[in-house]
Structure 1
Amino acid sequence: MTDQSAQQDESRKRARDKEKEEEHPKKLKPYNDEGDSDDDTYPLKRRLILQGIRELYAGHTARFLANQRLTTPIPSRSSVNPCDSKKQSLSELIHGVPGRISLSLDLWTSSNHQDYYVVLTGHFTDDGDWNLHRRILNLVAIPSASLEDVVHQAILPSASLEDVVHQAILTCVSNWNLNGRLFALTVDHSLCSSIENLEQLHTQLLIRHCYARVISGLAQDALGSMSPTITKIRESIKFVKSSEFRYTKFLELKQHLDIRSKKKLFIDEQTKWDTTYHMLVAALKLKNVFGGLSSYDPDFKIDVSPEEWKQVETLLTYMKYFFDAANMVNAHQYPCANAFFTVVAKIQEELMRAATSEDSFLKLLTTPLLQKFEKYWENCYIILAVAVVFDPRLKMAMVQKVFYQIYGENAVTRMEIVRNALSDLWFQYALPEETPTENEGVSTIKTEPPTASQGEQPLDRTSNTDFDMMMLSWFERQRAPKKKTSELDQYLEETLYEVPVKDFDVLVWWMQNKARYPTLSRMASDVLAIPLSTLDSDFVFDTATFKTMDSSLSPSTLEALICDKDWLK
């Protein structure tokens, strides 16, 4: 009886299990091609199949085509190269530019810092929609004999490095048919001596500083001056983020102190100075939490004093200027040259004001920065001011305002320098009949004096009647040379163009007004395309000296890949 009961129980259990399985079927495991299959030979089969596919496309393409009786061959890499057509399109675009082309020159390095390259980028405005273009044109390897000069920038470039730079520029000019069409060449100051004597270029402007490198240098110097304090803040954040338990305690204390900052703590990437800036901004918002953390968590031993937090707050005031300035060239679309003047002038003004402050820490922080930045300002303020004049919302009014704030009584002299630079540049663009004579600031149109008709007596200058005097005056006015206001003078005399900043595109404005200013618009398109920075947008915040490329390819292959990637954007 017991055995029969046990068998019935077992039978009922199997029935219940079957019903449960039907109601709730067993879920299948996600597919995993690494070995979840019940077939023990699956990994081997998979490898064999993949190897067969590789052999099919690598070594048996011809036999595959024959078996399938295909008449159209599979395109090979040599037969179809979309970048060849893209290069041709770029060449045609450059050839069709009515104005001139500017170049920027930079140095890149390989990931192992064994190889260095000269990279040349073209900057220009097209004739169709007046879009600003920035395209890599050439990449040239620097021979090993010149590498020591590159690495030790304190040493003036040797003849070998100078030859490489010269040849790279001349090759670019030759390959892209830019002879006689160069407008500006922008290089970092460390390479200026390598191109001082390059007379073959006939370029209008040589810009000796890279805007992005200057700003990045200021930011790194400012952060470096407070390195011990920043290290303590970084270690404090590491402590809080080291475990979920500690971070929870930190958040509890934040809530208890009713601190409503939404900034989240994170540890910076020390190879990118903008991450250090953002780390400090977030930490400063939570300084009171860090100040009370030692009493809330006995294991926290790092002490950042209130005075140090105050110094960090001062530091971040100027780091904000540097970050905003660098972020301009980190934007998706590279800005026109007119955008830089007000930003650079603002930094110059603020550093000048801070360097004369009675606050000892502020003066100590900003004086070295001002000394470094003044060199950039003095070398570049003319071209920056010329560029902002071509912003119809600002013109010379902005230059005047900034110069009075920076130079005071000497502002008039500085403004005359800018005005003369504008005039000199205008003369090179103006049509022959519009070119001023002698030292006049306006053009003249010479008219021939009227000749007397047959039977007509010449005017008697001895007559004293009012009528005769009136006629004499009229004829003399007609004979006098007539002055014609140039396009430049007409543009500067017109009232400022009023439009919301966010809705304004300076190149579109000049495209729409090129009928009114046919010559000045060509000049504007060239000036507004001047490159003031040589760095790639993705390298603006890096602390390294050169942009690094992870590649061991040959220079020719590397040039093809980099240029192709840039052209296919």
Structure 2
Amino acid sequence: MGIAIVKHNHPYRLVEQEGIRDLCVYLNSNALPISRNTIKADIEKMYKREKERVKTELNSITSRICLTADLWTFIATDGYLALTAHFVDEDWILQKRVLNFHHMPPPHGGPIFVVKVIDLLRDWAVEKNAHVLNLIVQDGVKVISKPVSKIRDCVKYIRASESRKLKFAECIVQVSLPCNKRVHQNVPTKWNSTFVMLDSALEYKLAFHQLHVVDRSFSRFYPTEEEWLRVQKFTTLLRPFYDLTTLFSGTNYPIANLYFHGVWKIQKVIMEEVNNLDIEVSEMAKQMKLKFEKYWECYSLVLSFAIILDPRFKMDYVVYAFKKLYPFDYEERAKEVRDKFYLLFEKYENTFDGDLLDGSIAGCSSGDLGNDNDDFAEFENQQHANKRNKSQVDSYLDDTRLLSTQELDVLNFWKENKNRYPILSLMARDILSIPITTVASESAFSIGGRIVGKFHTSLLPENVEVLLCTRDLLYGVTASEDEEDRERLSIDFASLVAKLTNLHESSLFSVEPAANLLADSNSELEEFYAMQLYEA
């Protein structure tokens, strides 16, 4: 029973419900009823067992551990800090573990935040290893906050009842729109869901307009034509961001080598749109550029190392990207990245014994020829000297790049080449484990929202942490849960529209009477219309 509660986010009191107890007795006539306190104690034991297992795992790995920490405030104003560890395991597979989902009451200032994170890490004994895109776009969203709010209210309106959904479906039929997309409501804190909402609203703009004509109650939410135009412009600007976020935010966490190329594309779009003749688009881009530059200086260097460690791109891509963005000083910028890449490698090199370094150079034995041919022996010694003087970085960068178009598991490449580049491979393992997505934190917050739902606000913070962390350590987050969240905030009108179309074609209704029906707020007529559709 404890497993079911953890896995499906049920409350402790599930075990005290009559139906559940009857089911247990039906399955085992000797089963004894248990209380919520008993099941709570069992789950706490489960959590402690899993925590010790993960603690042992984290302290046994040889790679570095990358940490992400984010704050979430529930509707009851309780703050929670999600602390997540990211690392590449001994089989060269990228892993993540939610270490803590810790209650964090106000204030949430920087110094307090840092002290709390260090405190939590001490408990895990990993203190030695001790969501930028979203922030950039949110600054742009502020410029059109009013139209975004109106469209959100429009979507909430049609989702509020079955009769309103029917009205909107009829509007889709009347304006002959295909149902290629679902209608989405956004989560205000997730800009990508805002993009999806705006994009789908634009797809159904004519249907929203028709509803505006036939439903007086809806009219107060409907955006003006000027606001629709602003939404159109903003959605066009955001599309490259959304494509990148889709790449970064899969359930299978992306490797850091994807970051440089993606963020470079975003920077390129922003810089182009800053000079857009449309004042609104230019203003949005300027706001985004300010935020981008604030975080780019912090993140670009180490994550440019990740693209260098992708054998399909190496330094060539860094030079190419900088040349596109900074045509006048790209060589100096690329040189800075290259120099610091070498400097980081030297630090790794200094942490290993000479035996490991010597073993990385594959040499040839002179055998009997060395005794018989002094000239060849001298030549061979010189060759060995040249190889020893050539670092692993030089060898790697000088090797021919793989085709940039080929599919490649970069971690597997370094796993297969760890004997050839033993020190560089360790550096690659650490850099490629750097998280480039907020998926881990957002997944924790999503599960937290299920555990601390509006019916479970009295759950103690320490019990929230036990339930969420045990769930993550045992099962992680499945794709079906992400899909469940998307389904919950969207509507697929395709089936409704298909039924309405069939009704019209069979002459049960004509378009004009249906429109008159929609304009009438009489509940009996709405009920009759819904019944006809249901029977069809």
Q: Same fold (TM over 0.5)?
A: yes
Q: 464, 470, 489: which one pairs with 1:564?
A: 470
Provide Cα deviations, 1:219-275, integer angstroms capped at 9, x if missing partner.
3333332233334444555666663663354123222xxx43523445445454444
Equivalent position amino acid for 1:253 in 2? Q
Change (3 A) 1:92 1:317: same
Aligned partners of 1:395 and 1:422: how far apart in 2? 11
Q: Equivalent residue of 1:381, what SS? A: helix
Give 1:511's aligned residue: 415
Q: 210, 218, 230: which one pairs with 2:136?
A: 218
Aligned length: 421
Q: 239, 243, 246: which one pairs with 2:164?
A: 243
Aligned partners of 2:39 and 2:166: how far apart in 1? 59
Give 1:263's aligned residue: 181
Equivalent position amino acid for 2:265 in 1? K
Give 2:97's aligned residue: 135
Report if aligned partners of 1:329, 1:540 keep a CA contact under 8 Å in 2: no
Equivalent position amino acid for 1:566 in 2? D
Equivalent position amino acid for 1:228 in 2? K
| TM-score, structure 1 as length reference | 0.63
Give 2:503's aligned residue: none
Residue correspondence of structure 1 range 110-259 to structure 2 within 5 A: 111-114=75-78, 116-128=79-91, 130-142=92-104, 147-148=106-107, 150=108, 153=109, 157=111, 163-169=115-121, 171-172=122-123, 175-176=124-125, 178=126, 180=128, 182=129, 185=130, 212=131, 214-234=132-152, 243=164, 246-255=167-176, 259=177
Q: Equivalent residue of 2:98, what SS? A: strand
Change (3 A) 1:565 1:551: farther
Aligned partners of 1:301 and 1:110: how far apart in 2? 32
Give 2:57's aligned residue: 93
| TM-score, structure 2 as length reference | 0.66
Aligned partners of 1:540 and 1:325: how far apart in 2? 21
Q: Equivalent residue of 1:57, what SS? A: coil
Which residues of structure 2 form unaligned runs of 5+? 1-17, 362-374, 476-536
Give the drift of 1:121.
2.1
Provide Cα deviations, 1:308-329, integer angstroms capped at 9, x if missing partner.
4333222112222333333344
Residue correspondence of structure 1 range 473-484 to structure 2 within 5 A: 482=386, 484=389
Aligned partners of 2:323 and 2:48: how far apart in 1? 53
Give 1:493's aligned residue: 398
Give the drift of 1:332.
1.0
Equivalent position amino acid for 1:57 in 2? P
Query: Bigger CA drift: 228-237 or 357-366?
Result: 228-237
Give the drift of 1:133.
0.9
Report if aligned partners of 2:69, 2:441 keep a CA contact under 8 Å in 1: no
Give 2:495's aligned residue: none
Aligned partners of 2:461 and 2:153: how far apart in 1? 42
Aligned partners of 1:237 and 1:314: how far apart in 2? 20
Report if aligned partners of 1:237, 1:267 keep a CA contact under 8 Å in 2: yes
Q: Equivalent residue of 1:134, what SS? A: strand
Q: Equivalent residue of 1:495, what SS? A: coil
Report if aligned partners of 2:47, 2:470 keep a CA contact under 8 Å in 1: yes
Residue correspondence of structure 1 range 263-302 to structure 2 within 5 A: 263-270=181-188, 272-291=190-209, 301=219
Q: Equivalent residue of 2:329, what SS? A: helix
Change (3 A) 1:540 1:375: farther
Equivalent position amino acid for 2:391 in 1? S
Aligned partners of 1:96 and 1:119: how far apart in 2? 23
Q: Equivalent residue of 2:138, what SS? A: helix
Provide Cα deviations, 1:488-543, integer angstroms capped at 9, x if missing partner.
11111112112755x4211111111112111111111111012345663535999x
Change (3 A) 1:78 1:487: same
Aligned partners of 2:201 and 2:170: how far apart in 1? 16
Give 1:404's aligned residue: 323
Report if aligned partners of 1:329, 1:537 keep a CA contact under 8 Å in 2: no
Give the drift of 1:486.
0.9
Give 1:57's aligned residue: 33
Report if aligned partners of 2:83, 2:117 keep a CA contact under 8 Å in 1: no
Does residue 370 (structure 1) correspond to residue 276 (structure 2)? The answer is: no
Aligned partners of 1:433 and 1:516: how far apart in 2? 15
The answer to which structure has the higher helix fraction is 2
Equivalent position amino acid for 2:167 in 1? R
Report if aligned partners of 1:400, 1:415 keep a CA contact under 8 Å in 2: yes
Aligned partners of 1:521 and 1:77: how far apart in 2? 44
Report if aligned partners of 2:73, 2:80 keep a CA contact under 8 Å in 1: yes
Change (3 A) 1:228 1:495: same
Change (3 A) 1:112 1:433: same
Report if aligned partners of 1:120, 1:136 keep a CA contact under 8 Å in 2: yes
Change (3 A) 1:284 1:491: same
Give the drift of 1:399.
0.9
Select the structure of larger CA radius of gyration.
1
Give the drift of 1:112.
2.0
